Structure 1
Amino acid sequence: METPGTEDVVVVGAGPGGLAVAAALRARGLDPLVVDRAAEVGNSWRHHYDRLHLHTPRGWSHLPGHRIPRRFGRWVARADVVRYLEEYAGHHRLRLRLGTAVTRIDRVGAPGPDAARAARWRVDLADGSSVEARDVVVATGYNHTPVEPSWPGLDGYPGEVVLARDYRNGRRWAGREVLVVGTGNTGTEIATDLAEHGALRVLLSVRTPPHILSRTRFGVPAQATGIAVRRLPPKVVDRVAGVLAAVQEPDLSEHGLPRAGRDLYSRVLEGRIPVQDVGVVGAIRAGRVEPVAAVESFDGAEVVLVDGTRVTPDAVVVATGYRAGLEPLVGHLGVLGARGLPATHGSVRSEAAPGLWFTGFTNPISGMLRELRIDAERIARAVTRERG
């Protein structure tokens, strides 16, 4: 391995979270290096399905120091998010080292007499080099590694199995039957997209009925409510949401999708945010998307559901979620907690690993990009404060 270079701060990840914190650090006089395995910034946004738009309005979704251009509209399309991130990196003149994966983060020996400047972390890269820095910010993302399906009999299924991360649009499945597994925002949007592209039949496999909210109500974005309740006790929010659900959430019971329980905010704390309706409710009511039971197993060309029903789709789209995938990077440092997520987050100082910061590992009801902006500014303050 080459002799490590030394950097002010290393930011791991060139998505929205990493770019945001790098810009906030630059605004405070530091010169961070942003490292990412992809060849371009915003890589995950480049590979999402085509119809995706931000679920939060443009005015509440910008990163620190540079607003999203008005020309992108109120609900910013996936491709325009990518353009914004490219503009953002250029606007802040961020130093980027792209196309090089970070493989591991390790402690450096005890700091010397100049503790305010001494490196505390070594960042190992896939090309065999390494970089040392006093502070490292990990911003690789909440939705980093897809959860791989493991149903019995899947290996013998002759149809096509597609992970949601590889789905672009439903054009190729026009006139065919497709089963979508997963009822988060991704699964419900993909099911809607398949119906809009003329799939013969779209089945939506439901394990837990989701909470479904309108993107706006009386012109007010759903995000406003999320911001308002962000800090309230979960039981209080669940109780209020349970009452409001009777009038705010669609009743699709007669179409095979039972109502969700009175646990909206409790689910959010587990990382499961409500579904925003961008067409799935209408598609279900029109019979173009059919809710069915959860998948139990595969039997040749048939998919066996937990209620005993058997269906024979031409393809299965798996939208069962992601995990952070932080174990190879920092799993040996004792900094991970439940579900493999960081035990400390944002500007909260880790006593077990001072100088190691994490951003983007929550799925907040108040809007991911908004929280990334807040986290970035707080982390930048904390890093500069510790340096005196």
Structure 2
Amino acid sequence: MLTSSTDRPVHVVGAGPGGLAAAAALQSQGMRALVIERAQNAGASWRARHDSLRLHTTRRRSALPGLRIPRSAGRWPSAPDLVGYFERYVDHHRLEIATGVAVSRVDRADPADPDAGWLLRANGGRLLHAPTVVLATGRHDTPFVPDWPGLDGFPGQVLHSAHYRAPGPYAGLDVLVVGAGNSGAEIALDLQRGGAAAVHLAVRTPPHVMRRATLGWPAQYSGIALRRVPAFLGDGLTRATSRLTGPDLTDHGLPRPGGGRFTRARQGAFPVQVPGFVRAVRRGRIRPVAAVESFDGPRVRLADGSHLAPDVIVAATGYRSGLAELVGHLGVLDENGRPLAHGPRTAPGAPHLHFTGQTNPLSGTLRELNLDAERIARAVSRAHRRRAGTRPQAAESVPEPTTATRG
């Protein structure tokens, strides 16, 4: 079944914040966009976040184009605050979202004509034609759990951090959290506060640990000020301040990291900024341990040769983007599976195919999604005028959404 969408020249895949921002920005440029979402609601991934989650970026610097996050969310909005905000965002901009549509592959409509657009293969035999595609599936598409030797024989519960919601079910139990990023640190602290008998945090690569704000100055603002600085220079500028203001947890099993903060961030390792985490580690309530190597029945063998016997394992071990399955055959990804071009730029041989939400900058992901959306919209509008020889439709012609998007 082929559905032609010439009246909607842009298809945005993913109704998370990146997709919503892109659609709203395109609309402001007079471009009709259809947002395609595999879940039943916009912002679905945020609905599944753990209850204690709060942003490490400020309310004012986390809003999407055209609508502020309300003051009631406080300085550091929670996941429920964001879900409510995304719902209002859809209504405010009258975005058109098709839910329950899972795109599995993107192909060139005509390999001989680079301006022919794209074919989106989706569930139910759908085949959608789109002159321009914005892939906004984000970095957190598919939870990843390492295939540790012996894992199948572990008798306890194993869950990914994506499926952790609250500490109640784990009260009185020994829990091993694997992964020392922000999610791992947040969940470890939540478990400790929620009454877990013991909480260990398995660490393969020590993270940078820093305050979310120092003397009222958010760390995000420093990231914004230095966002265009080369990584080596940013590393040097922050090294001295890290020594002065960053905690030294070496005596508690969490040594200082080796790499620079900016270099690590651009490799995807964001600094840990969890209020209360450092205090819990220093007081022995969260105990860092070596990385997980393998399993032997109920015992977990660590990289230093020691063993633990936890009741529950929470794997805060990251995600896979899912881009290889979607577009890996198009030659638009590098050897690490990341897009060769991002935002307004497109990869050679793949015009009119844009990516957003595949970075994790110190300046804040939501802020960068905002900026990306506006740049993409301008680039798409220019390209559309060149291809069509006419100006795009006025934004006022966008109808009421045809698909319910709120939960």
Residue aligning to 2:14: 13
Q: Is the 8 A contact 2:2 2:128 kept in 1?
A: no
Find the aligned partners of 1:372 and 1:228 in 2 and give their Cα distance: 17
Residue aligning to 1:78: 79
Residue aligning to 1:26: 27
Query: Given residue 365 of structure 1, which amino acid in structure 2 is its aligned partner?
Result: L
After TM superposition, the structure 1 stretch with the greater mean CA deviation from structure 2, 101-110 or 204-213, is: 101-110
Residue aligning to 2:331: 334
- Count residues with an aligned counterpart: 384
Q: CA deviation at 1:111?
A: 8.4
After TM superposition, the structure 1 stretch with the greater mean CA deviation from structure 2, 323-332 or 78-87, is: 323-332
Find the aligned partners of 2:10 and 2:237 in 1 and give their Cα distance: 43
Residue aligning to 1:349: 346
Q: CA deviation at 1:110?
A: 6.5
* Cα distance per residue 1:211-252 (max 9 Å; x no partner): 011010010100011111111111111122222111111111
Q: Is the 8 A contact 1:180 1:203 kept in 2?
A: yes
**Counterparts of 1:174-323 in structure 2 under 5 Å?**
174-323=171-320
Query: Given residue 107 of structure 2, which amino acid in structure 1 is its aligned partner?
Result: D
Query: Given residue 367 of structure 1, which amino acid in structure 2 is its aligned partner?
Result: G
Q: CA deviation at 1:385?
A: 1.0
Residue aligning to 2:94: 93
1:150 paired with 2:151, answer no
Q: Secondary structure at the match of 2:281?
A: helix
Question: Using a 3 Å threshold, how does the CA distance of structure 1 residues 202 and 4 change in structure 2: closer, same or farther?
Answer: same
Find the aligned partners of 1:162 and 1:307 in 2 and give their Cα distance: 24
Which structure would you say has the larger RCO, counting Cα contacts within 8 Å and 6 or more residues apart?
A: 2
Q: CA deviation at 1:147?
A: 1.7
Residue aligning to 1:103: 104
Query: Given residue 335 of structure 1, which amino acid in structure 2 is its aligned partner?
Result: V
What is the Cα-based RMSD across aligned positions, in Å? 1.4
Q: Secondary structure at the match of 1:82?
A: helix
Q: Is the 8 A contact 2:48 2:162 kept in 1?
A: yes
Q: Secondary structure at the match of 1:45?
A: helix
Q: CA deviation at 1:119?
A: 4.5
Residue aligning to 1:132: 129
Find the aligned partners of 2:209 and 2:84 in 1 and give their Cα distance: 29
Find the aligned partners of 2:336 and 2:180 in 1 and give their Cα distance: 20
Q: Secondary structure at the match of 2:200?
A: strand
Find the aligned partners of 2:276 and 2:20 in 1 and give their Cα distance: 32
Q: CA deviation at 1:5?
A: 4.2
Find the aligned partners of 2:322 and 2:3 in 1 and give their Cα distance: 28
Residue aligning to 2:372: 375
Find the aligned partners of 2:269 and 2:97 in 1 and give their Cα distance: 32
Find the aligned partners of 2:37 and 2:118 in 1 and give their Cα distance: 17
What TM-score do you get using the length of structure 2 for normalisation? 0.92
Question: Using a 3 Å threshold, how does the CA distance of structure 1 residues 111 and 88 change in structure 2: closer, same or farther?
Answer: farther
Q: Is the 8 A contact 1:111 1:120 kept in 2?
A: no
After TM superposition, the structure 1 stretch with the greater mean CA deviation from structure 2, 320-329 or 361-370, is: 320-329
Query: Given residue 187 of structure 2, which amino acid in structure 1 is its aligned partner?
Result: I
Q: Is the 8 A contact 1:215 1:221 kept in 2?
A: yes
Q: CA deviation at 1:199?
A: 0.5
Find the aligned partners of 2:144 and 2:63 in 1 and give their Cα distance: 29
Question: Using a 3 Å threshold, how does the CA distance of structure 1 residues 349 and 175 change in structure 2: closer, same or farther?
Answer: same
Query: Given residue 379 of structure 2, which amino acid in structure 1 is its aligned partner?
Result: A
1:49 paired with 2:46, answer no
Query: Given residue 80 of structure 1, which amino acid in structure 2 is its aligned partner?
Result: D
* Cα distance per residue 1:55-113 (max 9 Å; x no partner): 1010010000111111111111101100000100110000110011011111112788x
Residue aligning to 2:401: none
Question: Using a 3 Å threshold, how does the CA distance of structure 1 residues 111 and 30 change in structure 2: closer, same or farther?
Answer: farther
Residue aligning to 1:65: 66
After TM superposition, the structure 1 stretch with the greater mean CA deviation from structure 2, 247-256 or 155-164, is: 247-256
1:386 paired with 2:383, answer yes
Q: Quick one: percent identity of the two aligned structures?
A: 52
Q: Is the 8 A contact 1:242 1:262 kept in 2?
A: no
Find the aligned partners of 1:174 and 1:3 in 2 and give their Cα distance: 51
Q: Is the 8 A contact 2:212 2:274 kept in 1?
A: yes
Find the aligned partners of 1:70 and 1:102 in 2 and give their Cα distance: 36
Q: CA deviation at 1:277?
A: 2.5
Q: Secondary structure at the match of 1:316?
A: strand
Q: CA deviation at 1:3?
A: 4.9
Find the aligned partners of 2:320 and 2:363 in 1 and give their Cα distance: 20
Q: CA deviation at 1:351?
A: 2.4
Find the aligned partners of 1:111 and 1:256 in 2 and give their Cα distance: 58
Q: Secondary structure at the match of 1:61?
A: coil
**Gapped runs of 5+ residues in structure 2?**
386-407
Question: Using a 3 Å threshold, how does the CA distance of structure 1 residues 3 and 367 change in structure 2: closer, same or farther?
Answer: closer
Query: Given residue 150 of structure 1, which amino acid in structure 2 is its aligned partner?
Result: D
Find the aligned partners of 2:297 and 2:119 in 1 and give their Cα distance: 49
Q: Is the 8 A contact 1:153 1:298 kept in 2?
A: yes
Find the aligned partners of 1:194 and 1:110 in 2 and give their Cα distance: 52
